[in-house]
Amino acid sequence: MNKVMTRTKRRPGTRPPGRHDTRRPGTTPPRAPGAGAPRPAPGDTPPPTPPAEAASRTPLLPPPGDQARPSPPPSSPPPQPRPTDLFADRLLAVLSGQRPVHCMLRHTAGRAYDELAWLAERSPLRTHGTRPVVRDIGYYVPRPGAIEAFARIGAGDRLRAMAFRLEQGPDLRWRCTAVELGGPRMPRRNDD
């Protein structure tokens, strides 16, 4: 069995999660009305330049010691978060009462939604003090298209564990198929 411990670190100073452009707020200079050069009216042609005056103009070249610097190589797109990271955060939000259970409806398959609803009723990760966070994630790949993962959930000094299973469907989307926390489990029905 080969377990892998992962948790991508969020770097401070990066753009907020909802922001998709690379501009940083406040970096563009303010624009003043009429600050640019006047534009010629459509159909206007510039006046002809006398030949002597045109010959005295030299093209603008950079100073000899200041060579053009090569542009930096295009940066690769930011790495996509792992499905284990996404689902650990989603499940934590539901089980701590920050999100409603139905937000996981399209991200679950089989009995996982029923298990999640049963667990969320008992609000096992809801705290009155420190907000719970995912401290660490580990996973095991039993076969291609399936991941068994666990997450360490911390809230203040308290540390809890959450286990979940993800399976990739024919549409290549990951769905949670099982969720467990330490403590009581949902009673099984006879038809299972």
Structure confidence by residue, pLDDT tens digits, 77-133: 888 889 999 999 999 999 998 999 999 999 999 999 999 999 988 877 777 778 899
Structure confidence by residue, pLDDT tens digits, 148-192: 999 999 988 889 999 999 999 999 999 999 999 987 677 776 655
* pLDDT grade for 62, boundaries at 50, 70 and 90: low
* pLDDT grade for 75, boundaries at 50, 70 and 90: confident
Task: Evaluate whether residue 31 is within a structural domain.
Answer: no
d(CA 88, CA 163): 9
Task: Evaluate whether residue 89 is within a structural domain.
Answer: yes
Task: Evaluate whether residue 117 is within a structural domain.
Answer: yes
Check residue 101 and report its DSSP letter: G
Please state the domain count of the chain.
1
Q: What is the pLDDT of residue 82?
A: 92
Q: What is the pLDDT of residue 145?
A: 96
- Please give the helix or strand (H or E) that residue 115 lies within, else none: helix 112-121
Q: Between 5 and 30, where is the model more confident?
A: 5
Q: Report yes or no: 86 and 103 within 8 Å, Cβ to Cβ.
A: no
Task: Evaluate whether residue 4 is within a structural domain.
Answer: no
Q: Report yes or no: 112 and 177 within 8 Å, Cβ to Cβ.
A: yes
Structure tokens belonging to residue 177: 């198929």
- Strands 174-181 and 4-6, how do they pair? unpaired
Q: What is the CATH number of the domain that holds 100?
A: 3.10.450.50
Task: Evaluate whether residue 119 is within a structural domain.
Answer: yes
Q: What is the pLDDT of residue 148?
A: 98
Q: Between 57 and 182, where is the model more confident?
A: 182
Task: Evaluate whether residue 56 is within a structural domain.
Answer: no
* pLDDT grade for 55, boundaries at 50, 70 and 90: low
Q: What residues make up the domain containing 95?
A: 80-181
* Residue tagged 């080969």 (tokens): 2
CA distances from 154 to 125, 126, 134 (A): 9, 11, 6
3-state secondary structure 111-172: CHHHHHHHHHHCCCCCCCCCCCEEEEEEEEEEECCEEEEEEEEEECCEEEEEEEEEEECCCC
Structure tokens belonging to residue 191: 């038809």
Task: Evaluate whether residue 54 is within a structural domain.
Answer: no
Residue 132 neighbours by CB under 8 Å, 6+ apart:
92, 96, 125, 153, 154, 155, 160
Judged by DSSP in three states, 54 sits in helix
CB-based burial, 26-57: b 16+ in 10 Å, e otherwise: eeeeeeeeeeeeeeeeeeeeeeeeeeeeeeee
**pTM score, whole prediction:** 0.58
d(CA 56, CA 54): 6
Task: Evaluate whether residue 95 is within a structural domain.
Answer: yes
